[in-house]
Chains A and B, each alone.
Chain A
Amino acid sequence: MMKTRLFYIFCLALPAFGVAQALRSDSIYRVPEFHPAGRALFSLSAGGQTQSTTIPAAFSNRFIDPGFIDDVLKTSVEDRFKGDNRFGAAFGYSASALFFPDSSAKANGSALQISAGTESLFALRFSNDAFSLAFRGNEDFAGQSANLSNSSFYALRYNFFRLSYRKRFETWGFEAGLQAMRGVSNSDVRLEEASLFTDTSGTFLDVRWKGRIRSSSPGANAWNNYPSAGAALNLRFIYTPVSQRKWFVEASLNDFGFIHWNNQTNDIQRDTSFRFTGLWFGDVITFNDTNFVLGDSLLRRLRGNEEQASGMRLFPFRLHTAVSFELSARHNQRLMLEAEYRALPGMRPQFTLGYNRQLGTHFELGIDAIYGGFGGLNSRFRMAYRYKANQLSMVIFAPEGWIGAKRFSGNGIFIRYALDI
C-alpha cells in the first residue's frame, strides 16, 4: 500500500511547466516498487496549461477556444499590469511504454522506457505598452512613444522520441535517457530596446528597435527536405532511506540539448531607428504600377537584410528538484516541496508546496500552492484513480482560473491513462 501511495505522489507531483515533463512524471524509483510482479506499463497522456502574471484565464482562453476579445477582457488584463508581464503556455500529448527487458532486469530493479509525442511551448514577456499596442492599437499612443523594450516572444513546436534507462538501488536510483527531436517550428523574438512613436496626426511613425528575431518553419512536409533535428540528454536522481520511506529527494536535468534548424531559418539582428511615412509613390501619375502593400513595406523596413541560414539552437532545458515528507501514515498524507526552472525567456524559478492524501483504496488527492514560473501564486488540484490494471490521473492546473477566469491567471488540464501490460 505504501508503495502504491508513493507512486501516486510521484505521478501527481507534476512539474508545473512543460507538458512533456508532466507526461513522463512516473518516477524511476517508484515503478519497480509499483510493479513487484515486473509488469510493464503503457500510458497515453495529453494536456495543456497557461500561466501568467497578468493575463487572466478568460483572456488566454480566447486563443484556445476562439472568440472575440472585447474591451472588458482587455481591461481585465490592463487592471493587472505589472510593468514586466509574463505569459507561458504548453500543450502536448505523448505515448509511453515502460518495460523490463528481461527477468534479471526486473530482479535488479532495471527498466527501459520509450516514449514519443509532441509539445508546443509559448513564452511571452511584454511591457504594458506592448500589450496595449497589440490589443488596443497605436491610436492611444498618438503624440507619445510606446515602450516595447525588454519584450520577448518564444514559440516552439517539436516532436520527440525518447529512450531511457532507469535503475533502482537500495536507497537511490537514477534515470538516464536520450531523446531525438524534430523541430516543427520555432520563433524567438528578443527586443532589448524597442519603441514606437506615433505622430499626433498619423503622418509618421518613429520606430526604434534593437534585438534579434529568429524564426524557423521547415514546412509542413519537412521530411522531404533536410529536417530540423536535434538531440537532448535527460538525467534524474532520487534518494530515499529504504527502511522507512518517510522522505525522499529528487533532482533532474531534462531536455539538455539542441535542435539544428534547417535553412528555412531567418535570422535578423538589428539595431536601428527609422521614420516610416508610408509607401512612397515616386510617380503619382502612374501609381498603378506601384506595389501597394503597406504592411510589407513597413516589415521590409523593420527586417532590413535578413539572413537565411541553418543554425543550432539550445533547447529549453529544465532543472527540477523536489523533497517529499510523510506527514502521517494514516491516509498516506505527504508534504512535498519542489523547485524547478525551464530555460524559457521570461520564466522565473517556480516553487511548489504540495499536500497529498489517499481516499479509500482507489483514490489519491492532492493540492498544491505554486509560486513563480510565468505567474504569481497559483493552485493545483490533483486526483488519481486506480482500478485493477487501469490508472487514470487528472491534474487541474489553477482551478481558480477555471472558476474565476476573469480574475485569476492561468489554467490547464492534464490527463493520463496508464495500463499495466
Chain B
Amino acid sequence: MESLFSQVMKKTIASAFACILLLNACRKEEATSWDTRLLTPIAEAELSVEDIIPDSLIISANGDPILIRYENTLSLIPYDSVLQIPDTSIVQNFIFPVPFTLPAGFEVLNLNELVRFDYDGIELTEARVASGTLDYTVVSTLGDTVFYNYRVPKAMFSALPLSLQNVAIPPGTVSNPAIQQKSIDLSGYTIDLRGSSTNESNQLQLELDAQLNPNGNGSPVVGGQEIVRFTSTFKSIVPSYARGYFGRQTFETGFQREGLGFLKNLSGNLNLQDITLNLSLENGIGADFSFLITELKGRKSTTGTEVNLSHPIIGNAQRLARASEVPQSGLPYTPTQKTYSLNTGNSNLKAFIEALPDELYYDVDAEVNPLGNISSGNDFIYSSSNAKVKLQLNLPLRFSANSLVFRDTLEFEGVEEATESPVQEAMLRLHAENGFPYQLSTTLWLLDVNKVRMDSLFGGQLIEAAPVDSDLKVTQPRKSVLTTNISPAKLEKLEKTRFIVVESRLNTVPENTLLPVYTHYKLKLQLSGRGIYRIEVR
C-alpha cells in the first residue's frame, strides 16, 4: 500500500513539475485579451469664416455682415531701372619711353578725366547717393615714395568736394610693386553729372596728379614699362534721388500669375451680392507715365475654365501726368493719382468672381515719358517713387449657394497596420452644431497610395442649415448627427488609406436667397466613436 501510494505521489509530483516546465516551454505568444465596448469622444473642431479666409481679408465692424477686402499693390517700374547707376571704371597709367632716372619731385601723373556712365536712353544730370563707393587702386614700381592728390570736384558733401591730398605710396620695384587700395564711401554725396561743360549728362570729372618724392633722390625707370597705374571704380551707386531725362522707357510685367488659394477648393454655383474692384493708379515719378492692362483673367485650375475681366480700362492705355516736386504727406513730392471702379454695372466682375477663380493672370505694360523729353531734362525720381497699381476688391460675404462644393485632399498617414486590429467594429458619429444658414453634405473619400478611391465615410449625409429670421440672420444653431459604420472590411481600407478627400456640398436654405455671413457664425463638430475595442495584455 505504502509502496503504491509512494509511486502515485512520485508520479504526481513529477507530473506537476513536467506541467510547469511544459507550460513555460510551450508558452504561446498569445496575449491575454478581451473585448470592451467603448463610447468615447474622439475629436472636436470649430469652423468659422476665419478658418477658411485669412483674417487679414475680413472686414467686420459693428456686427455687420462680413466684407472680404482683398488688396494688392503692383509696382510697375523696376527699382534699378533708373536709380541704379551702372558700375563704371577708369584706368590711367604712366609709361616712360626710354630708360631714365626720374628726378626728385617729377610729376608722374596729371589727369583731368571725364567718367561716362553707360546709361541706355537716360540722361542723368544730378544724383544724390544713398549708397555706393568709389574704389581705387594705385600701383607704383618707382623706387621712391610717390605723393598724389585725388579730387572729384563735382561730388559734394556738405558743400565740399571730394578731395584726397598728398597721399603717399611707398617705394616699389618692377618685380614687387607697391600697391595701395582704398574705398571711399559716397553715401550722402551729391553728384553733378553734367560734366565739365554743365550741358552734358551721365558724366563726372576726376582730377589726379602724382609726383615723385620731392625730397628724395629720384628713381631710375626702365624704358617702355608701366611705372604707375591708377584704377578708379564707381561701384553699386544707388541714388536716393536722381534728376535728368529718364528716356522713353517701356516696362512690361509679362503674363503674371497671382494665386487665390482660398478659392482653390471651392467649385459649383455661387451667387454673390454686388462686388466692387477699385483700381488706383499712382505716379510718384517726375515723368509722364502711361499704362495698359492688356489682359486680366481668372482661371479655375481644377477645371481649366478661364474668364476674362471686361471693362473699358482693360485694353486701353491710361495716361498719368508726372508727379510734382512739392512735398506732401511726408513725401518730398506729390504723386498724381487716378482711380477706376469696376462693378456689376460697368463690368462682368460679379460673373468673374462667381466663377471662383483660384488663379489671376494679368499683363500690364507701362511707359515713361510717352511724349518724350517735354520737361527739358527735369524728370526726377526719389527712392520712394514708383508707378503703382493698387487693387482693392470688396466682396460682401452675402451669397446663395447651390451645390457649392468644397473639396480638399488631405494626406493621411494611415491607421497603424497590425496583424489584428484592436478595433473589432465601430460606429463613428459626427455631432454637428451648425450656426451657418447653409446645408452641408459631407463625404470623406478614402484613397489609397495611388489616389484610387476605395471607400467613403459619412456618404453625403446632411448637416442641416441653421434657420434664419426675417433679417436673414441665424436665430439659433441646428444640431445634426451623422453616422458611419466602420466594419472590419472598412478598417482594412483605412489601413491602406493615404489620402482623404473631404468633399462638402453647400446649399443655401432658403434656396436662392442671398444670405449674409457674420463672424460669429460657427460650425461646431464633434466626432465620437462607439465600438468594440480589443485590449491585449502581454
Which of B10, B408, B538 is A385 in contact with, Cβ under 8 Å? B10
Does any Cβ of A come within 8 Å of B184's Cβ? no
In the complex, are the beta carbons of A137 and B527 less than 8 A apart?
no
In the complex, are the beta carbons of A385 and B533 less than 8 A apart?
no
Bound-state Cα–Cα, A40 to B12, Å: 27
In the complex, are the beta carbons of A363 and B20 less than 8 A apart?
no
In the complex, are the beta carbons of B45 and A280 less than 8 A apart?
yes
Does any Cβ of B come within 8 Å of A107's Cβ? no
In the complex, are the beta carbons of A198 and B39 less than 8 A apart?
yes
Number of interface residues of A (CB under 8 A): 50
Which of A66, A139, A198, A394 is B30 in contact with, Cβ under 8 Å? A66
In the complex, are the beta carbons of B16 and A415 less than 8 A apart?
yes
Does any Cβ of B come within 8 Å of A285's Cβ? yes
In the complex, are the beta carbons of A139 and B2 less than 8 A apart?
no
Q: Which of A202, A280, A415 gathers most chain B CB within 10 Å? A: A202
Whose C-beta in chain B lies nearest to the C-beta of A133?
B36
In the complex, are the beta carbons of B20 and A413 less than 8 A apart?
yes
With contacts A66-B32, A285-B51 taken as known, whether A278 is within 8 angstroms of B37 at the C-beta atoms is no
Bound-state Cα–Cα, A385 to B9, Å: 8
In the complex, are the beta carbons of A135 and B36 less than 8 A apart?
yes
In the complex, are the beta carbons of B431 and A203 less than 8 A apart?
yes
In the complex, are the beta carbons of B40 and A202 less than 8 A apart?
yes
In the complex, are the beta carbons of A279 and B42 less than 8 A apart?
yes
Does any Cβ of A come within 8 Å of B38's Cβ? yes
In the complex, are the beta carbons of A278 and B9 less than 8 A apart?
no
In the complex, are the beta carbons of A137 and B533 less than 8 A apart?
yes
Whose C-beta in chain A lies nearest to the C-beta of B411?
A288
The residues of B that contact A68 with a CB separation of less than 8 Å are 33-34
Whose C-beta in chain A lies nearest to the C-beta of B528?
A202
Q: Which of B39, B410, B529, B532 gathers most chain A CB within 10 Å? A: B39
Bound-state Cα–Cα, A144 to B39, Å: 12
Which of B5, B32, B37, B538 is A359 in contact with, Cβ under 8 Å? B5
Bound-state Cα–Cα, A236 to B36, Å: 48
Chain B residues numbered 384-441 whose CB sits less than 8 Å from any CB in chain A: 408, 410-412, 429, 431
In the complex, are the beta carbons of B6 and A362 less than 8 A apart?
yes
Which of A276, A281, A360 is B41 in contact with, Cβ under 8 Å? A276
Does any Cβ of A come within 8 Å of B235's Cβ? no
The residues of A that contact B23 with a CB separation of less than 8 Å are 65
Whose C-beta in chain A lies nearest to the C-beta of B10?
A385
Which of B16, B30, B44, B51 is A413 in contact with, Cβ under 8 Å? B16
Which of A137, A198, A285 is B36 in contact with, Cβ under 8 Å? A137
Does any Cβ of A come within 8 Å of B31's Cβ? yes
Does any Cβ of B come within 8 Å of A83's Cβ? no
CB proximity of A23 to chain B, nearest CB, Å: 15
Bound-state Cα–Cα, A279 to B2, Å: 71
The residues of A that contact B17 with a CB separation of less than 8 Å are 415
Which of A62, A276, A394 is B32 in contact with, Cβ under 8 Å? A62
The residues of B that contact A1 with a CB separation of less than 8 Å are none
Which of B9, B43, B408 is A363 in contact with, Cβ under 8 Å? B9
In the complex, are the beta carbons of B32 and A67 less than 8 A apart?
yes
With contacts A281-B43, A281-B44, A283-B51 taken as known, whether A137 is within 8 angstroms of B13 at the C-beta atoms is no
Bound-state Cα–Cα, A69 to B537, Å: 11
Does any Cβ of B come within 8 Å of A142's Cβ? yes
Number of interface residues of B (CB under 8 A): 49
Which of A62, A138, A280, A383 is B9 in contact with, Cβ under 8 Å? A383
Does any Cβ of B come within 8 Å of A305's Cβ? no
The residues of A that contact B12 with a CB separation of less than 8 Å are 383, 394
Chain B residues numbered 1-35 whose CB sits less than 8 Å from any CB in chain A: 2, 5-6, 9-10, 12-13, 16-17, 20, 23, 28, 30-35
Bound-state Cα–Cα, A70 to B412, Å: 35
Whose C-beta in chain B lies nearest to the C-beta of A204?
B41
Bound-state Cα–Cα, A274 to B283, Å: 62
In the complex, are the beta carbons of A66 and B31 less than 8 A apart?
yes
In the complex, are the beta carbons of A284 and B525 less than 8 A apart?
yes
Does any Cβ of A come within 8 Å of B52's Cβ? yes
In the complex, are the beta carbons of B16 and A136 less than 8 A apart?
no
Bound-state Cα–Cα, A67 to B27, Å: 11
With contacts A202-B530, A360-B6 taken as known, whether A277 is within 8 angstroms of B44 at the C-beta atoms is yes
Bound-state Cα–Cα, A33 to B36, Å: 57
Convert A285-310 into 0s and 1s, putting 1 for each residue whose CB lies closer than 8 angstroms to a CB of B.
10110001010000000000000000
With contacts A138-B38, A359-B2 taken as known, whether A279 is within 8 angstroms of B44 at the C-beta atoms is yes
CB proximity of B162 to chain A, nearest CB, Å: 57
In the complex, are the beta carbons of B526 and A385 less than 8 A apart?
no
Q: Which of A278, A283, A413 gathers most chain B CB within 10 Å? A: A278
Whose C-beta in chain A lies nearest to the C-beta of B523?
A284
Convert A104-147 into 0s and 1s, putting 1 for each residue whose CB lies closer than 8 angstroms to a CB of B.
00000000000000000000000000000011111110100000
In the complex, are the beta carbons of B44 and A278 less than 8 A apart?
yes
Bound-state Cα–Cα, A417 to B496, Å: 56
CB proximity of B384 to chain A, nearest CB, Å: 38
Bound-state Cα–Cα, A69 to B515, Å: 57
Which of A134, A201, A278, A392 is B42 in contact with, Cβ under 8 Å? A278
The residues of B that contact A201 with a CB separation of less than 8 Å are 429, 431, 481, 528
Bound-state Cα–Cα, A413 to B31, Å: 22
Whose C-beta in chain A lies nearest to the C-beta of B38?
A137
The residues of A that contact B526 with a CB separation of less than 8 Å are 203, 277-278
Q: Which of A70, A276, A294 gathers most chain B CB within 10 Å? A: A294
Does any Cβ of A come within 8 Å of B371's Cβ? no
Does any Cβ of A come within 8 Å of B47's Cβ? yes
Does any Cβ of B come within 8 Å of A63's Cβ? yes
Does any Cβ of B come within 8 Å of A205's Cβ? yes
In the complex, are the beta carbons of B37 and A360 less than 8 A apart?
no
CB proximity of A146 to chain B, nearest CB, Å: 12
Chain B residues numbered 43-59 whose CB sits less than 8 Å from any CB in chain A: 43-47, 51-52
Bound-state Cα–Cα, A201 to B525, Å: 14
Convert B507-538 into 0s and 1s, putting 1 for each residue whose CB lies closer than 8 angstroms to a CB of A.
00000000000000000011111101100011
Chain A residues numbered 237-295 whose CB sits less than 8 Å from any CB in chain B: 276-285, 287-288, 292, 294
Does any Cβ of B come within 8 Å of A398's Cβ? no
CB proximity of B444 to chain A, nearest CB, Å: 12
Q: Which of B28, B32, B412, B532 gathers most chain A CB within 10 Å? A: B32
In the complex, are the beta carbons of A203 and B528 less than 8 A apart?
yes
In the complex, are the beta carbons of A139 and B16 less than 8 A apart?
no
In the complex, are the beta carbons of A140 and B525 less than 8 A apart?
no
The residues of A that contact B16 with a CB separation of less than 8 Å are 394, 413, 415
Chain B residues numbered 65-106 whose CB sits less than 8 Å from any CB in chain A: none
The residues of B that contact A394 with a CB separation of less than 8 Å are 12-13, 16
Bound-state Cα–Cα, A63 to B537, Å: 8
Does any Cβ of B come within 8 Å of A74's Cβ? yes
Bound-state Cα–Cα, A282 to B412, Å: 18
In the complex, are the beta carbons of A139 and B38 less than 8 A apart?
yes
In the complex, are the beta carbons of B41 and A205 less than 8 A apart?
yes
In the complex, are the beta carbons of B33 and A392 less than 8 A apart?
no
In the complex, are the beta carbons of A278 and B41 less than 8 A apart?
yes
Does any Cβ of B come within 8 Å of A232's Cβ? no
Convert A372-416 into 0s and 1s, putting 1 for each residue whose CB lies closer than 8 angstroms to a CB of B.
000000000001010000001010000000000000000001010
Does any Cβ of B come within 8 Å of A46's Cβ? yes
Bound-state Cα–Cα, A67 to B29, Å: 10
Bound-state Cα–Cα, A394 to B12, Å: 10
Bound-state Cα–Cα, A360 to B6, Å: 9
With contacts A280-B44, A284-B45 taken as known, whether A139 is within 8 angstroms of B39 at the C-beta atoms is yes
In the complex, besides A137-B532, A202-B530, 19 extra interface pairs with C-beta distance below 8 angstroms are: A63-B32, A69-B33, A74-B34, A134-B36, A135-B34, A137-B37, A137-B38, A138-B36, A203-B41, A278-B42, A279-B43, A279-B44, A280-B44, A281-B44, A361-B2, A385-B9, A385-B10, A392-B13, A394-B12
The 8 closest A-B pairs by CB, nearest first: A137-B36, A278-B41, A202-B528, A139-B37, A69-B34, A137-B37, A281-B45, A202-B39
Can you spell out 9 A-B residue pairs with CB atoms less than 8 angstroms apart? Answer: A63-B537, A66-B31, A66-B33, A69-B32, A137-B533, A278-B526, A279-B42, A280-B43, A359-B5
Chain A residues in the interface with B (C-beta under 8 A):
46, 62-63, 65-70, 74, 134-140, 142, 198-199, 201-205, 276-285, 287-288, 292, 294, 359-363, 383, 385, 392, 394, 413, 415
